[in-house]
């Protein structure tokens, strides 16, 4: 196969400007978090409804024959083709048994605050918020955010609706001072914390 495709046109040289921009954003987010990835222009999925980036998640703990544990991509037209509304989406399929074995191979993360952390961010700070989201999750802290840029008030309402235990606020002042404002969603109290202090606040 390698000999056959080595002279074939590369998808990386035939993406439209919009697709190239979206793909660059994805790679920048991964790089900003320090997540390793392989930019593989020969990666394809077995179905033809994908309209954007496709991906595979692999692991080293299950052996070379079972190393892919999750795969999927972007499909903007699939729901409509199946008779529904025009709903852009991304999705994946995962091997449950492989996921279970992968989880078993890793030490369990620490216990977290019962209702989790909702990250509230100001305009221009989505990348920072996403990076913090991943850092908290890596520490076993249940956390979430809305990827649509909304007002602080709207995000705090969502945090309340989701019954978050805390809101972690990232605004211009927090970025400038290199800290975070933590709001207790139960008591309404607020206080400042550095990144290194967050785990102690959120873990029970």
The CATH number that applies at residue 176 is 3.40.50.800
Are both 99 and 136 inside the same structural domain? no
Per-residue pLDDT at 110: 44
Are both 128 and 159 inside the same structural domain? yes
Q: Looking at 35-39, 63-67, 84-88, 198-202, which range is the least confident one?
A: 63-67
* Residue 111 placed within a domain: no
State which of 59, 83, 104 marks the end of a domain: 104
pLDDT tens for each residue of 24-43: 999 998 888 788 898 888 78
Count up the domains in the chain and report the number. 2
Domain span including residue 85: 2-104
pLDDT tens for each residue of 132-174: 999 998 888 889 999 888 999 999 999 998 889 999 999 999 9
Per-residue pLDDT at 107: 46
Are both 99 and 121 inside the same structural domain? no
Are both 22 and 86 inside the same structural domain? yes
Per-residue DSSP letters for the chain?
A: -HHHHTTSPPGGGS--HHHHHHHHHHHHHHHHHT------TT---SSTT--S-EEEEE-SSS-GGG-EEEEEEEESSHHHHTTS----EEEEEE-HHHHHHHHHTSPPPPP--TT-EEEEE-TT-HHHHHHHHHHHHHTT--EEE-SS---HHHHHHHHHHTT-SEEEEE-HHHHHHT-EEEEETTT--EEEE-GGGHHHHH--
Claim: this prediction has a pTM higher than 0.75: no
- What average pLDDT does this structure show over 6-35? 83
Are both 123 and 54 inside the same structural domain? no
Per-residue pLDDT at 11: 78
Are both 8 and 100 inside the same structural domain? yes
* Residue 40 placed within a domain: yes
């Amino acid at each position: 196969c390698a000999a056959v495709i080595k002279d074939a046109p590369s998808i990386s040289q035939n993406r439209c400007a919009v697709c190239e921009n979206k793909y660059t954003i994805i790679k920048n987010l991964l790089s900003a978090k320090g997540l390793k990835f392989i930019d593989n222009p020969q990666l394809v999925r077995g179905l033809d409804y994908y309209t954007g980036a496709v991906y595979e998640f692999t692991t080293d703990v299950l052996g070379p024959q079972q190393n892919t544990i999750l795969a999927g991509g972007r499909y903007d037209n699939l729901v409509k083709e199946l008779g529904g509304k025009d709903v852009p989406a991304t999705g994946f399929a995962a091997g449950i048994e492989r996921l279970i074995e992968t989880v078993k191979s890793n030490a369990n993360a620490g216990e977290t605050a019962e209702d989790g952390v909702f990250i509230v961010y100001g305009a221009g700070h989505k990348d920072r918020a996403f990076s913090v989201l991943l850092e908290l999750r890596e520490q076993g802290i249940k956390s979430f955010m809305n990827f649509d840029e909304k007002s602080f008030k709207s995000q705090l309402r969502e945090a309340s609706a989701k019954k978050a235990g805390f809101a972690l606020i990232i605004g211009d002042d927090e970025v400038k001072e290199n800290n975070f404002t933590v709001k207790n969603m139960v008591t309404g109290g607020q206080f400042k914390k550095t990144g290194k202090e967050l785990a102690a606040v959120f873990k029970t």
